[in-house]
Every structure is written in structure tokens, then in C-alpha cells.
Structure 1
Amino acid sequence: MLSKIPATPVFARTMIGRAELALMAVTFLWGGTFLIVHLAMRESGPLFFVGLRFATAALFTLPIALPVLRGLTAREVVAGGAIGLSIFTGYSLQTLGLQTIPSSMSAFITAAYVPLVPILQWFVLRRRPRLASWVGVALAFAGLLLMAAPRDGLSFGRGEALTLVSTLAIALEIILISFWAGRVDVLRVTVLQLAVTSGLAFACMIPAGEHVPPFSWPVILAACGLGLMTAFIQLVMNWAQRTVSPTRATLIYAGEPVWAGIIGSIAGERLPAIALLGGMLVVAAVLVSEWKFRRAAGASSA
């Protein structure tokens, strides 16, 4: 006679532990970054700001990775370069968009990268998306249409369009990280990708015609503060997701644009009701795209 395995109490499945609380704090910080960048764009060009932000993040991470840097391989150089290029593209376009659109609008549009990841994986990694992924894409598309038509009909401005394109680069970053996962040293690649992002941003200032802005403490503090925050967030995510499932983590991350909307509203930003509805559909798309349909527990029991 087989002994029964004790059922996990409901409170144990729903209890929020330290790792979940840490990820919630991360989403709050993420939500606040959009407003910080939006305000900093009044005094700085986007490429200089991105370069300074990621240079700070690289310098902050370097002491942690220094003991293992001697073992840097060619594969890790390629991985760090490719991931860094995607980060540079995504964050530069997002920062450029924040020059002209509210921080809460940027956060809602950026969240659309989550349902895009499974679709891009289909083309890059040949992994067929689940039904939930397609439903998530449909919801995100509907939400983006509503955000594109808050006043005078369907019209995506320059800032919205740049931010939407940035979501493709951010989704590609996630796919590239997944592609090289388990085959490279995380610390070495992390430092390299941050340095590549910073170097590309500074290098592109010349062809883009962007000049170093006049010295401004708000810009320096914002860029360096976000750099430290970027490194801190990455370290917390790496620690917390050792015990938090990807699905549960994504549910927590879905709060990022919500926090951005709340913080933006406190700062005086006001989005039309139809745009807020679109933003909520994007958040729903994030949640639905990670939903895993399971058969009832008793369906397979003998």
C-alpha cells in the first residue's frame, strides 16, 4: 500500500517570501526609472545618458567579476558583444522616445516585449509558441492600438514608434541570454555586455551629432544612480530567480508599468482614459502570455 504524499497547504503555495519581496522591490525601482530618464532628457542627449548609465553599471559590477575575468573566452566575447548591442539598441531607442512621451506611456509600451519573446524565439530558436503566447500578442496589439489613439484617431508619434521598436531589441536581448545560458560565465558576460552598451552609446554620439551636455548635477546623479540601480537589479534578479519560478517572476514583473503609471501620475502626468485602458491590456498580455494551461489534478489519477 502506497503512502499518500501530504498535500502542500494553500498558504505555503501563496506565501510571499524574501525572494518575491525582493522582486517586488525591483519592479518598483524599474517603474521609477522611466520618470527619472524622462526628466533627465530635458538636460542631456539620449546617447550620452545611456553611455554614462551603463558605464557606471559596468564599473560597479567589475569588482565582483574581476576574479574570474582571466578566463574570458571567445564565445563569451561574442555573447557579450551581441547582448550588449541589443541592450544598446533597446535602451537608446527607449531613452530617445522618452524625450517626447510621458514615462507611464513608455513603460506600458515597453512591457509589450514579454509576449513578443515567444514569437521571436520561433524565428531564432525554432521553438513553437504556445497558444497563450498568441493570445498575449493579440492583447498587446489591441492595447497598443488603444494607446496610439488617445485623442484624434490612430496615430503613433515619433516617441511611441521609437519605444515600440525598442521592445523588439529588448525581446532579442532576452532570447540571446537564453541562447547562451549555461555555456558562458554569467559574471564575465554581464560586465562585457554593460561595457559594450556604454562604448557603443558614447561612440555613436559623433555620427549622431550629439554633444556632451553642460555639466549638470541632476544628469550626473540620475545617470550614475540608474547605473548603480541597473547593477543592483541584475544581482537581485539572479539571486531571487534561483527559487522563484519564471512564471511567478513574470507575474511580479508585470507590476513594472503599473508602478511607472502610479509614479508618473504622482509627478503630474495624465494619460487619457483610453490610453490607460490600452496599458492595462498590455499588462494583461504579459500575464496571459506566461499562463500555462494544466489539466485538473485529478484528471490523470488512477
Structure 2
Amino acid sequence: MTRLQANLVLLLAAAIWGGGFVAQSTAMATIGPFWFVGLRFAIAALAVLPFAVLEARRIGSRPERRHMGGFLLVGLALFGGAITQQIGLQTTTVTNSSFLTGLYVVFVPVISIVIFQRFPHWIVWPVALLALIGIFLLSGGNIQAVSTGDLWSIACAAFWGLQIVLAGHFVSRSERPLALSATQFAVCAIVSLMIGIAVEPVSLDAVGGALAEILYVGLISSGLAFVLQVIGQRHTTAPQAAIFLSSEALFGAFFGALLLDETLPPLGYLGCGLIFAAMLIVELVPELLNRRRNARLQSTRS
């Protein structure tokens, strides 16, 4: 798979996630966030498990213990991102949640520094400020209007950034995208259901009322889209993956407007534009500067 094909696979995953925001939001009318996240990823784990078994048979061995440890870490990061996003959707709109979640494109290089000492381009820091201004405008230019759900969505972006960095790292070393996917889904489901049993009441009627949303996000947004993410990340870098995946913000806003009649104040649209500009700048500017520098070096040598 070429890098272009990998990035297009990631773009498809982002489109699926964008549509999933609507299902995640409407499900909150009947079921709590921990049960919803637990059930969606339990379905995803069961859907992917047979393919992970076939992958192990094709390779001729089970994943090594060190790889499984990494897969578990990815699963915990996935749980953090999924549950903070779901809690946030209780008190913010699909549009706000999708754009704020897209801030993981700024978190990815920062997390890469902390974990792997991979220092990003200098452009990351002014872009982070630009993104913060966008968040302020997304609230309508009133800091008091930033909802609790918006803050949960920002926390979600940090967890997604961690998940992207860890998933790219461990899938490139294990070459087992389906085993990683099945493991992270199972970890997320188990942790969420354990907490759900302890803190959230649930009934068959509640599950039945959200069954369509659970099946959609379980099989499509989780089972399919996260597998596409892991497969695509085998053939591209974590920062490039982040920029293509961040397009889910636009898809989320589109589906929120189309299906839920959501709107933004005028300053909110400007804020969305600044956030998306930050996502683009943080990836495109370093690439363009590197190409220009390489072209100068080649002309000097010739």
C-alpha cells in the first residue's frame, strides 16, 4: 500500500467517525456513556476477533508478550478517548465535539516528544495558540459559554492523540493490525462495562432504545473505522495520519447540520475555521519547508 492509498484509507475512517458522532449523541437519550462505550466496543471486538485469528494463522504465530503489552496500552488510551468523548456529548453539540476532538492533531507531536523524544517542527507552538483562539471563538467569544462537554471533548482529544501515537508505534513493530484492533477493543469494552456495572443503572429497555446506534458505532464506527485507522497507519507517519483523521471534524459538523439541525453563532464558524487551519498548518508547513530545503541542497550540489 502506498502512502497516498494509506492516507485515503484514513480519510474514509474519518468520514465514518464523523457520521458516528450523530449516533453517539442520540444514544445518550436512553443509555449511559459507560454502558454505551462498553457495548459498542464489545461488538467491535467480537466482529474483529475472527479476522485476528486468521491473521495469526497466516503469520504462523501468536503475538509476542511485549507486543500484547503495547496493545493493552493502546486499549487504555482508546478507553480514555471514547469515554471522555461520550460524556462530553451529553452537554455539548455534535459540531463542537467533532471540532474539539480534532485537536488531537496538535496533541500528537507533543505526546511524541514526551514518550519517544521525537521533537516536532517549531510551527507546532504558534499553531497550538491558533487552535486555542479557535476554541475561544467556537464558544461564541465568551469564555463563560465553554460548556463542561467542551472541556470533556478537549480531554478526549488528548487521549485520541495518545492512541494515535501508540497505535502507530506498536502496529509498525508487530505487523499485526487486526490483533491490535481486537485487543484494544476488548480492553476498552471490559474497562467500560466494569465501571458501568458499578455506577450506571441499565435495563433491557434502555439497551433496546439505543440498539441501532450501538450496532452502527460498534460495527461501523468502531469495528470498521478503527481497523482502517490501524491498517492505514502501517504505511504513513503519525502526524500525517492525524491530519487526515482530523477531517472527521468537518464530517461531524456536516452530519450534525444535516441530521440534527445544529447551528453555530457567526464567531463559532470563524473558530471552526481557525481550528481546521491549525490542523492543516501543523502538517503542511513542515512538509513544504522540508521540500524547499531539499531542493536547495540538490541545486547546491549540482
Q: Could you say whether these structures have the same fold, taking a TM-score greater than 0.5 normalized by the shorter chain as the test?
A: yes
Counterpart of 1:14? none
Which runs of 5 or more residues in structure 1 are unaligned? Answer: 1-16
Separation (CA, whole Å) in 1 of partners of 2:178 and 2:160: 20
1:286 aligns with 2:279: yes
Counterpart of 1:172? 162
Separation (CA, whole Å) in 1 of partners of 2:226 and 2:149: 27
The one of 94, 99, 102 aligned to 2:90: 99
Residue 257 of structure 1 and its aligned partner are, at CA, apart by: 0.9
The one of 149, 153, 156 aligned to 1:163: 153
Separation (CA, whole Å) in 2 of partners of 1:19 and 1:177: 15
Separation (CA, whole Å) in 2 of partners of 1:71 and 1:249: 27
Asked whether the equivalents of residues 135 and 288 of structure 1 are also in contact (C-alpha less than 8 Å), the reply is no
Change (3 A) 1:24 1:84: closer
1:134-171 per-residue CA deviation (whole Å, 9 max, x = no partner) reads 232122111112223x2654442211111111111111
1:272 aligns with 2:265: yes
Residue 238 of structure 1 and its aligned partner are, at CA, apart by: 4.6
1:41 aligns with 2:28: yes
1:31 aligns with 2:33: no
Change (3 A) 1:156 1:107: same
1:128 aligns with 2:125: no
Asked whether the equivalents of residues 181 and 230 of structure 2 are also in contact (C-alpha less than 8 Å), the reply is no
Asked whether the equivalents of residues 108 and 242 of structure 2 are also in contact (C-alpha less than 8 Å), the reply is no
Residue 132 of structure 1 and its aligned partner are, at CA, apart by: 2.3
Counterpart of 1:186? 177
How many residue pairs align between the two structures? 286
1:195 aligns with 2:200: no
The residue type equivalent to 1:157 in the other structure is S
Change (3 A) 1:77 1:270: same
Separation (CA, whole Å) in 1 of partners of 2:200 and 2:234: 44
Alpha-carbon RMSD: 2.6
1:185-214 per-residue CA deviation (whole Å, 9 max, x = no partner) reads 332222111101000010001332443462
23-32 vs 43-52, greater mean Cα deviation: 23-32
Change (3 A) 1:20 1:115: closer
Counterpart of 2:39? 52
117-126 vs 61-70, greater mean Cα deviation: 61-70
18-27 vs 94-103, greater mean Cα deviation: 18-27
Counterpart of 2:103? 112
Counterpart of 1:74? 65
Change (3 A) 1:93 1:213: farther
Residue 77 of structure 1 and its aligned partner are, at CA, apart by: 2.9
Separation (CA, whole Å) in 2 of partners of 1:247 and 1:141: 19
178-187 vs 107-116, greater mean Cα deviation: 178-187
Asked whether the equivalents of residues 31 and 259 of structure 1 are also in contact (C-alpha less than 8 Å), the reply is yes
The residue type equivalent to 2:53 in the other structure is L
59-68 vs 70-79, greater mean Cα deviation: 70-79
Residue 239 of structure 1 and its aligned partner are, at CA, apart by: 4.8
The residue type equivalent to 1:262 in the other structure is F
Counterpart of 1:224? 215
Tell me the TM-score normalised to structure 1 length.
0.84
Separation (CA, whole Å) in 2 of partners of 1:168 and 1:248: 17
Change (3 A) 1:54 1:116: same
Counterpart of 1:5? none
State percent identity of aligned pairs.
Answer: 27
Change (3 A) 1:135 1:41: same
Separation (CA, whole Å) in 2 of partners of 1:179 and 1:21: 20
Asked whether the equivalents of residues 109 and 239 of structure 2 are also in contact (C-alpha less than 8 Å), the reply is no
Change (3 A) 1:255 1:269: same
1:108-129 per-residue CA deviation (whole Å, 9 max, x = no partner) reads 0000011111112212211222
Asked whether the equivalents of residues 135 and 289 of structure 1 are also in contact (C-alpha less than 8 Å), the reply is no
Asked whether the equivalents of residues 143 and 277 of structure 1 are also in contact (C-alpha less than 8 Å), the reply is yes
Residue 23 of structure 1 and its aligned partner are, at CA, apart by: 4.2
Counterpart of 2:248? 256
Asked whether the equivalents of residues 48 and 212 of structure 1 are also in contact (C-alpha less than 8 Å), the reply is no
1:147 aligns with 2:138: yes
